[in-house]
């Protein structure tokens, strides 16, 4: 007995070393969580997009509507996470706190589900604590634990379903697991790993796999079809069709997987050791049984016997199926252009699970071998000896690998941009940016949607990345958006990254990026990058050499665009100079007339912002003006006419161009108006 006790104490000491090494990382996560929950600003690009969709639901609006030429809403995920936040937002107004709290609770639930599973397999509290600490110490969990995003809620629901299925693989528990998996799917549409893993596990263990599969499919397909019909196909459009437009590349997959191998090599090695050492025979048995039963799906499956409380469970193959189900998902989603390392999150729970169960079985009694599918009452003698000698060596190796991983520097900045994380300096900068947004009149285009929502500004285009993907594949007409950029209708453009010098960006289509770069300039680079319309006053213009009544010279002009659309805006710059003392306080008119001479837009203002009679000799004046066409303006060629008149008498000053009479309204440019 004392030898067994001494062995367990030695094992506990070895497992306690990596646990103690992980605790400072868990403490670091706690400090980060407190900072994020108190931080009132957007951190991740998707946070504002998800918040906007939830806010629309809170206001009774449909975020899954088909995109219009003058507006784009991106509802990237199924509705459950949006609905949970909408209930909070309806009472509190737009806030990032709701989604961050939900994500944090989900993170803790995921850690609890992993710890319970490890305890159930090996009855070791120390191994369960080690698993929970390992999960909470991971940098991806650190980063995504408080994002206003559905990744961790969907993952937590998946783990709850897996734990239910493992606990009692009989129908009531399996039905609960199916419900958890359906809720996970309605939180994030890629959360299909759980039902796949449990279905394969039941198939290889002669459980009710067919009934489970039909129940899960029904719980997902029927509500989804009903919701999609109620939303006129919008649910399928946003969560399936639009997502399919994001291209997949091997380079992106290699980039993301490279980060995994670079930062967690010892964790991968520990999981591989556990998989080979404890589950190798189980895996071969399960695969052999799956092949044997592949053609026998009509045979009624025998229910798997329930595990009696307190009885020592055998090694389950469910963790293997969980890992095998995760791998194709990881390959599928991490190869999509523009994704970040957060999509590797699904791989870490099975890794933690494999390591934790192996540690727990090593700490407890030697595990019972899985039944041999050939019918032999026990594995061969050599195999039994190999398994009896393996646990001590396996445990020592696991402890060493985990300790090495815990002590290696792996800062969260390896997984996410450090300067976007909460800090007092960044909060002060965001306060300044928020004041700028609040005080700027007119329309604002922002990738940081929280700046618009908190200021009560309308959101017309909410996801430039998705807009670029679907526009380039003909699923959205972006011409109105490009025209808005070309006409500089946005008073500010707020971007998360500085793209002024890039040739292309996944967040912008080539046409939109060209319009942005041609018509906007960087105002300043800060926590976000603020752009303003380029001024025509600083652009090279034309010198028409026009003189009005011998008193005022029009020395330079410029027009913002050569083509627009009905409802579009044409900006005009004029630069004046006094030729002789003006005899009246003249008024400037700028007219936009169609081919038949019909007036379609006009501006009437003093030409220099002050009465012309007060101009000093040789004084110059300059200004920009906006002419907005009506929505029903006919297509064709339009002229921009400029002239001066005496507001007291209404008499226009005669104009001369290069000494030749030019009438009383001179055309300085021609603009084409297209019907579409």
Domain limits for position 470: 423-537
Contact of 320 with 283, CB cutoff 8 Å: yes
What is the model's pLDDT at position 371?
A: 45
Measured in whole angstroms, the distance separating CA 324 from the mean position of its chain's CA atoms is 26
Binning pLDDT at 50, 70 and 90, where does residue 315 land? low
Q: Are residues 621 and 528 in the same domain?
A: no
Whether pLDDT at 1 is above 50: no
Residue-level pLDDT at 625:
85
Quick check: 131 pLDDT over 90? yes
The answer to whether residues 499 and 360 belong to one domain is no
- What CATH number does the domain containing 614 carry? 2.70.50.60
Lowest-confidence region among 107-121, 239-253, 512-526, 607-621: 607-621
- The position carrying tokens 């329930």 is 306
Query: What is the structure's pLDDT at 573?
Result: 87
| CA contacts within 13 A on the Cβ side of 556 | 14
Q: With cut-offs at 50, 70 and 90, classify the pLDDT of residue 307.
A: very low
* Co-location of 477 and 615 in the same domain: no
The whole-angstrom separation of Cα 546 and Cα 562 is: 21
- Which secondary structure element, helix H or strand E, spans residue 270, and what is its range? helix 265-278
Average pLDDT, integer, range 243-265: 90
State the pLDDT at residue 264.
94
Same domain, 524 and 546: no
- Pair 11, 141 in one domain: yes
Output the six-digit token pair for 619: 């004084």
312 pLDDT more than 60: no
Domain co-membership, 471 together with 374? no
With cut-offs at 50, 70 and 90, classify the pLDDT of residue 4: low
Please tell me the least confidently modeled range out of 377-386, 455-464, 576-585, 633-642: 377-386
466 shares a domain with 362: no
Q: Which of 31-40, 295-304, 491-500 has the highest mean pLDDT?
A: 31-40
Examine residue 557 and state whether it is found in any structural domain, yes or no.
yes
What are the DSSP calls for 453-497, one per residue?
Answer: HHTT---SB--HHHHHHHHTTTSS--HHHHHHHHTT-EEEEEESS
Rg (CA), the chain: 33
Tell me the per-residue pLDDT of 21-66, one tens digit each, with 9 for 90 and over.
Answer: 999 999 999 999 999 999 999 999 999 999 999 999 999 999 999 9
What gap in Å lies between CA 312 and CA 606, rounded to an integer?
91
**Last residue within a domain, chosen from 378, 409, 440:** 409
Mean pLDDT score across all residues of the chain: 85
In angstroms, the CA 99 to CA 105 distance is 10
369 has pLDDT over 50: no
- Check whether 622 has a pLDDT greater than 90: no
Q: Which residues pair with 172 in a beta bridge?
A: none
Cβ atoms of 618 and 636 closer than 8 Å: no
The number of distinct structural domains making up the chain is: 3
Virtual torsion, Cα 653, 654, 659, 660, nearest 10 deg: 160
Is it the case that residue 127 has pLDDT exceeding 80? yes
Q: At residue 564, does pLDDT exceed 50? A: yes
Same domain flag for 128 and 198? yes
- The C-alpha atoms of residue 643 and residue 591 are separated, in whole angstroms, by 9
Residue 362 has pLDDT above 60, yes or no: yes
Beta bridge partners of 330: none
Residue 393 lies in a domain: yes
Domain shared by 164 and 291, yes or no = yes
Percent above pLDDT 90 for the chain: 49
Looking at the structure, do residues 547 and 519 belong to the same domain, yes or no?
no
pLDDT at 375: 40
Regarding whether 230 and 272 lie in a shared domain, the answer is: yes
Q: Which of 516, 537, 558 is the last residue of a domain?
A: 537
Alpha carbon 429 to chain centroid distance?
23
Contact 304, 207 (CB under 8 A): yes
Q: Within this chain, do residues 142 and 281 fall inside the same structural domain, yes or no?
A: yes
- Its pTM stands at 0.81
- The domain boundary residue, chosen from 359, 387, 409: 409
Of 517, 490, 548, 510, the C-alpha closest to 668 is 548
């Amino acid at each position: 007995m004392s030898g067994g006790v001494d062995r367990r104490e030695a094992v506990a000491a070895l497992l306690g070393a990596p646990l103690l090494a992980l605790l400072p990382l868990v403490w670091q996560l706690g400090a980060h969580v407190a900072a994020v929950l108190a931080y009132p600003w957007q951190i991740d690009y998707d946070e504002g997009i998800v918040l906007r969709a939830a806010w629309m639901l809170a206001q009774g609006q449909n975020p899954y509507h088909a995109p219009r030429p003058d507006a784009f809403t991106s509802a990237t995920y199924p509705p459950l996470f949006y609905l949970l936040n909408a209930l909070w937002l309806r009472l509190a107004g737009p806030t990032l706190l709701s989604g961050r709290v939900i994500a944090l609770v989900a993170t803790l639930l995921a850690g609890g589900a992993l710890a319970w599973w490890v305890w159930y397999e090996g009855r070791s509290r120390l191994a369960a604590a080690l698993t929970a600490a390992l999960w909470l110490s991971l940098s991806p969990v650190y980063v995504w634990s408080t994002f206003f995003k559905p990744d961790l809620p969907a993952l937590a629901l998946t783990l709850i379903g897996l734990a239910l299925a493992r606990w009692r693989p009989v129908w009531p528990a399996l039905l609960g697991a199916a419900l958890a998996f359906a809720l996970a799917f309605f939180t994030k549409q890629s959360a299909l790993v759980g039902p796949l893993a449990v279905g394969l596990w039941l198939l290889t263990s002669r459980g009710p796999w067919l009934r489970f599969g039909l129940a899960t499919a029904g719980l997902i397909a029927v509500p989804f079809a009903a919701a999609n019909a109620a939303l006129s196909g919008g649910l399928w459009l946003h969560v399936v069709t639009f997502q399919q437009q994001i291209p997949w590349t091997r380079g992106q997959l290699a980039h993301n997987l490279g980060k995994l191998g670079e930062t967690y090599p010892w964790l991968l090695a520990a999981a591989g050791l556990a998989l080979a050492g404890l589950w190798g025979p189980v895996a071969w048995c399960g695969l052999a049984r799956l092949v044997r039963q592949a053609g026998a799906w009509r045979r009624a499956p025998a229910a798997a016997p329930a595990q009696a409380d307190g009885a020592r469970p055998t090694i389950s193959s469910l963790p293997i199926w969980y890992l095998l189900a995760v791998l194709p998902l990881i390959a599928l989603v991490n190869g999509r252009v523009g994704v970040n390392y957060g999509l590797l999150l699904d791989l870490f729970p099975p890794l933690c699970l494999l390591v934790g169960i192996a540690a727990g079985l090593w700490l407890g009694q030697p595990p019972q071998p899985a039944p041999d599918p050939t019918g032999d009452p026990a594995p061969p003698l050599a195999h039994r000896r190999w398994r009896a000698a393996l646990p001590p060596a396996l445990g020592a190796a696991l402890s060493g690998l985990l300790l090495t991983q815990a002590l290696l520097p792996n800062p969260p900045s390896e997984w996410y941009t450090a300067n976007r994380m909460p800090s007092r300096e960044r909060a002060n900068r965001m306060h300044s940016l928020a004041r700028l947004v609040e005080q700027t009149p007119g329309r604002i285009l922002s990738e940081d949607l929280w700046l618009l929502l908190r200021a009560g500004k309308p959101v017309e285009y909410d996801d430039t990345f998705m807009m670029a993907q679907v526009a380039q594949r003909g699923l959205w007409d972006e011409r109105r958006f490009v025209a808005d950029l070309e006409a500089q209708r946005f008073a500010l453009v707020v971007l998360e990254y500085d793209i002024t010098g890039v040739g292309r960006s996944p967040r912008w289509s080539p046409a939109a990026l060209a319009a942005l770069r041609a018509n906007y300039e960087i105002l300043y680079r800060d926590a976000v990058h603020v752009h303003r319309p380029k001024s025509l006053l600083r652009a090279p213009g034309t010198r028409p050499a026009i003189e009005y009544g011998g008193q005022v010279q029009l020395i330079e002009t410029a027009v913002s665009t050569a083509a627009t659309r009905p409802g579009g805006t044409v900006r005009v710059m004029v630069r004046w100079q006094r030729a002789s003392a003006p005899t009246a306080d003249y008024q400037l008119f700028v007219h936009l007339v169609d081919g038949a001479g019909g007036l379609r837009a006009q501006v009437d203002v003093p030409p220099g912002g002050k009465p012309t009679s007060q101009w000093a000799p040789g004084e110059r004046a300059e200004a920009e003006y906006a002419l907005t066409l009506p929505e029903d303006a006919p297509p064709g060629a339009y002229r921009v006419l400029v002239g001066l008149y005496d507001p007291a008498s209404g008499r226009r000053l005669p104009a001369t161009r290069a000494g030749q009479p030019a009438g009383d309204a001179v055309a300085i440019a021609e603009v084409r108006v297209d019907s579409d």
